[in-house]
Amino acid sequence: MRMLVVDAFAGRAFAGNPAGVCLLTGAADAAWMQRVAAEMRHSETAFVRPLQDGGADFEVRWFTPKTEVALCGHATLGSAHALYETGTAEAGRPIRFRTLRSGVLTVTPEEDGALAMDFPVMRADPVEVPGGLAEALGAKVLHTGRNAQNDLLAEVPDETSVRDLAPDVRALAGIDARGVIVTAAAAPGRDHDFVSRFFAPRVLPGDAEDPVTGSAHCALAPYWAERLGRDALTGYQASPRGGYVRVALHGDRVTLAGRAVTVLDGALRV
């Protein structure tokens, strides 16, 4: 079956967040998909299969090297890009993805070449700063919130604090959270409104940093919309690869938009 690697939320190769995209012809065993994702070693590998039930066009499931996840933005963007590029989906028409735990997600091409994804808002309700979080991050924490995915959103003083983070990954794994979204308002004169990074030592290997995280922006969008007084914003995820995510809040839904680039197109032989 066809397997691609797509750099999502990127306008050029080797930027943004790489996702594996496996184009299935039918249903696949979850244990097999998990083994493929472990082999690919990207933060997420998406498995896409066509549907004939009328409620959606394709099913998508997302796996990290360690586990299946309920929602993933960059691998959804990568999947849509792969479907359009391979001619599996009709150019110019929206794609409806059925998911196991996040409803139907629609991806629509935009005139500038970006792809816009309709996702659920994942608001982070305020909570007390967990003990040890500031020490694990090595930064002062001004505010924390927790969302339905059990991700912690942590605001730090400024953009420099986000960019300079070098967290203690082992200590961070001891925090009760699927992942930690670290964020701050953009420095003056930037071409973005807020900045973030995402660390998930419980589900990602190595340094546990996800380069550009669509699902994190489902929490970041309402957080910064409230503080900045605007529903349409641009976020920059300041990982070493880096990537831009345009967000637009619509009640309990959020549009996440970005570009993608295919860097590998081949055949999975097992």
Cα(43)–Cα(217) distance, integer angstroms? 16
Q: Is 59 a catalytic residue?
A: no
The answer to whether the CB of 70 falls within 8 A of the CB of 151 is no
Which residue in 141, 130, 127, 149 sits closest to 203, CA to CA? Answer: 149
- In order of 186, 253, 262, the CA distances from 109 in angstroms are 28, 18, 16
Tell which residue, 192, 196, 240, has the closest CA to residue 219. Answer: 196
Angle, helices 214-228 vs 73-85, to 10°: value is: 120
Given the residues 39, 44, 111, 209, the one annotated as active site: 44
- Give the CA radius of gyration of the chain: 18
With 0-12 / 13-18 / 19 or more C-beta atoms within 10 angstroms meaning exposed / middle / buried, residue 106 is middle
How crowded is the C-beta side of 163, counted as CA atoms within 13 Å? 11
The residues assigned a catalytic role are 44
